[in-house]
């Protein structure tokens, strides 16, 4: 199922409802739904924040073939290239005094989803991730 969402944070609630409805209809476990919502939000917010000059909607596609693995695709047309699969180390063992807000979003995505792919060509960026029912680490 596919839908376009306006490029602002007010879209997060309808984005959640859209995704939740699809996963609920396929009886996806709560342990899978949570990381899917989290990765979806982090990716969507990145597209919103890093491309303020762009006014095109963001295309989101969610599929759950055979009630198993959830596959999500987010397409951003006109945005800058930002490869979310690149390692951006965050020292999660650092003491409080050395911790700074920020950077955790990509770290969480990379740790919570099963597969993560990024493609960029001619101004069109697409992120595709999967999360399966056999990997309920969250």
Partner 1 sequence: MFEIEYGDSGEVICRGRLDAAQCTTAETFMDGLEGASTLDFNELEYISSAGLGILLKTQKRLAGSGAGLKIINVNNHIYDVFRYSGFHAIFDIHAKE
Q: Given the rule CB under 8 A, which residues bind partner 1?
A: 9-10, 12-13, 16, 30-31, 34, 37-38, 41-42, 45, 91-97, 99-102, 104-105, 107-108, 111-112, 137-138
With respect to partner 1, which residue has the nearer C-beta, 66 or 97?
Answer: 97
Q: What are phi and psi of 71, to 5 degrees?
A: -115, 130
Minimum Å gap between C-beta 108 and partner 1 is 6
- Integer angstrom CA distances of residue 2 from 77, 91, 113: 15, 36, 20
With respect to partner 1, which residue has the nearer C-beta, 22 or 39?
Answer: 39
Minimum Å gap between C-beta 48 and partner 1 is 8
Minimum Å gap between C-beta 121 and partner 1 is 28
Q: What are phi and psi of 37, to 5 degrees?
A: -60, -40
With respect to partner 1, which residue has the nearer C-beta, 3 or 107?
Answer: 107
Q: What are phi and psi of 81, to 5 degrees?
A: -75, 130
């Amino acid at each position: 199922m596919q839908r376009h969402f306006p490029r602002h944070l007010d879209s997060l609630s309808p984005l959640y409802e859209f995704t939740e409805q699809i996963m609920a209809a396929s009886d996806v476990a709560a342990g899978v739904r949570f990381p899917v919502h989290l990765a979806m939000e982090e990716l969507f917010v990145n597209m919103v924040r890093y491309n303020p000059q762009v006014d095109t909607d963001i295309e989101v596609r969610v599929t759950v073939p055979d009630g198993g693995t959830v596959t999500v695709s987010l397409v951003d047309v006109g945005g800058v290239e930002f490869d979310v699969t690149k390692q951006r180390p965050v020292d999660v063992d650092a003491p409080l005094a050395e911790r700074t807000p920020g950077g955790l979003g990509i770290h969480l995505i990379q740790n919570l989803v099963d597969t993560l792919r990024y493609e960029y060509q001619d101004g069109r960026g697409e992120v595709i991730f999967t999360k399966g029912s056999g990997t309920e680490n969250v």
